Amino acid sequence: MRVLFFIALFGCKHVPATALFKADTVFSMQGKFKRKNMPLGTDSLLSYKVSGETKTKLSYNIRTISESHDRHSSSYKIVTQNIPFASDNATTVVACVDFNDLHLLSMHLRANTDSGHVKFNQDKFSGWSQLPRQERKTIDYTFAGGALPDEANTPWLAGLLPKKAGQKLVLPVFNLFGNAVKWKTYLPLQVEKITLKNKTFLCWKINAGVQGPPGYTSYHWYEKKTGRLIKEELVKEGSDVKFITELVNVR
């Protein structure tokens, strides 16, 4: 199986050694992602838990992506809101990413119980993070070339990438509370149809790896034409409990 590493290289003189490990090809995100598939506007998604015949709403997720331009630079601003049904601990994440290679420039997370802020400059992430009943942690982490933003509850990155069934896509993603870059793996499986609210979408089904509760694997369906996330499922072998997120509105 061929493995491709997508690295955010923007004028960097070298690639981290870990990026070269077991990779057939290393190349920049710059100019490689499908800009026309950038999901500009506001997407609303509903997450729920399915256990046998019981369906329980978990959260409402809203993501807005917009372009930002000034005399010196261009970027994308990504605002994500996670609004749980069972508590008042809503979370808002505001991230800015580079216009050309999508590497993370800054991120601010605000919630009732946790928060954090990070900026990236000259190969270094700096800032802080705060979890409930824990001391505030300082972020001081170096990673040459930068990394992509954590997508949290509303994935979108894989919809921009070139896909071929069986060819893994590996991306460096900065984890705010882990204070480190994690390697995120996507495995395109096949193109199939997904029907939501009597509308059928032709989608790429992608294995997004281990995610959520222990033992669960995340699968994404991105519309082939637009690259938009249509559906996500977290499933566990041998369990009838699964977690589903579905697109409910685009504006």
Tens-place pLDDT, residues 186-242: 899 999 999 998 899 999 999 999 888 899 999 999 999 999 999 999 999 999 999
Query: Over 120-172, what HEC string results?
Result: EECCEEEEEEECCCCCCEEEEEECCCCCEECCCCCCCHHHHCCCCCCCEEEEE
Domain that holds residue 233: 3-250
232 Cβ contact list (under 8 Å, min separation 6): 155, 208, 218, 219, 220, 221, 244, 245, 246
Q: Tokens 């954090």 sit at which residue?
A: 116
Q: Reply yes or no on whether the pLDDT at 8 is more than 60.
A: no
Tokens standing for residue 110: 């605000």
Per-residue pLDDT tens digits for 15-51: 333 332 333 333 345 556 788 889 999 999 999 999 9
Q: State the Cα–Cα distance between residues 7 and 16, nearest whole angstrom.
A: 9
- In degrees, to the nearest 5, what angle opens at C-alpha 236 toward C-alphas 231 and 237? 125
How many structural domains comprise the chain? Answer: 1
Q: What is the three-class DSSP state of 20?
A: helix
Residue-level pLDDT at 32? 66
95 close to 107: Cβ distance less than 8 angstroms: yes
Segment 44-62 shows an average pLDDT of 95
Question: How many residues appear in the chain?
Answer: 251
Tokens standing for residue 236: 């566990």
Tokens standing for residue 246: 């579905």
Q: State the pTM of this model.
A: 0.84
In the DSSP assignment, the letter for residue 216 is -
Residue type (1 letter), 241: V
DSSP 80-126: EEEEESS-S--EEEEEEEETTT--EEEEEEEESS-EEEEEEETTEEE
Least confident of 88-97, 128-137, 158-167, 197-206: 158-167
Q: Residue 159 is part of a domain; what is its CATH number?
A: 2.40.360
